[in-house]
């Protein structure tokens, strides 16, 4: 699969198979995130990998899933992530635009995961204080984003929104398949035309 295919086909996954993720895959994903662009090359991010079953359950308990289809789309027991890469900011290091850095690192992890047949869900909604306590993070490390990982056990569909539509809520059909509305390209792309 080429890069554009990976970008176009990527969907957030919220149901996973109970297949373990090899350590070498996690190392490769973190390495890709490490090498992502970073504002002014300050590199203020760290990456905490969680894969032990007890820790997976503890991290899971701090996360909020799929607001539009909660609680039905909260991953049930046996379909939860088999790993997390938690993107942390080291506040002792300078940062230019840490939000941009986090987004680029998360994208690298997400698109890289596809190479290994893995799906991801980027989760910003978490009880960060509990997460910090559970993971015994020192004061200078702040969680910015949790990337849930695992072999997908669902196949969400991207749906093009009708022209002018405003409802962006994703939904489950009668077969429990997730549908994700996306704004139309012709409504989002602006082509610069000098003199117009």
For the chain, domains (ranges, CATH) are 3-155 (3.40.109.10), 156-196 (2.20.180.10)
Strand order in the sheet with 178-182: 157-160, 178-182, 171-172
SS (HEC) of the chain = CCHHHHHHHCCECCCECCCCCCHHHHHHHHHHHHCCCCHHHCCCEEEEEECCHHHHHHHHCCECCCHHHCCCCCCCCCCCCCEEEEEEEECCCCCCCHHHHHHHHHHHHHHHHHHCCCEEEEECCECHHHHHHHCCCCCCEEEEEEEEEECECCCCEEEECCCCCCCCCCEECCCCCEEEEECCHHHHCCCCCCCC
Which residues on neighbouring strands pair with residue 39, listed in sequence order?
none
Tokens 């938690």 identify what position? 86
- Sequential pLDDT tens for the chain (196 residues): 688 888 888 999 999 999 999 999 999 999 999 999 999 999 999 999 999 999 999 999 999 998 888 888 899 999 999 999 999 999 999 999 999 999 999 999 999 999 999 999 999 999 999 999 999 999 999 999 999 999 999 999 999 999 999 999 999 999 999 999 999 999 999 999 887 6
Which residues on neighbouring strands pair with residue 143, listed in sequence order?
88
């Amino acid at each position: 699969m080429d890069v554009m295919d990976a970008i176009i086909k990527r969907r957030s996954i919220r149901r996973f198979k109970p297949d373990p993720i090899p350590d070498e895959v996690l190392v490769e994903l973190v390495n890709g995130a490490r090498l992502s662009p970073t504002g002014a090359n300050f590199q203020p991010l760290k990456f905490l990998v969680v894969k032990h079953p007890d820790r997976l359950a503890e991290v899971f308990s701090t996360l909020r899933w799929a607001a539009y289809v909660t609680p039905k789309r909260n991953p049930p027991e046996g379909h939860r992530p088999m790993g997390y890469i938690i993107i942390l900011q080291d506040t002792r290091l300078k940062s230019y635009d840490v939000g941009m850095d986090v987004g680029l690192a998360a994208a690298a992890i997400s698109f890289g995961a596809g190479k290994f047949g893995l799906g991801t869900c980027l989760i910003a909604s978490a009880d960060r204080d509990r997460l910090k306590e559970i993971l015994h993070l020192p004061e200078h490390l702040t969680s910015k984003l949790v990337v849930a990982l695992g072999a997908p056990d669902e196949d969400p569909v991207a749906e093009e929104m009708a022209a002018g539509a405003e409802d962006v809520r994703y939904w489950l059909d009668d077969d429990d398949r997730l549908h994700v509305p996306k704004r139309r390209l012709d409504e989002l792309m602006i082509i610069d035309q000098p003199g117009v």
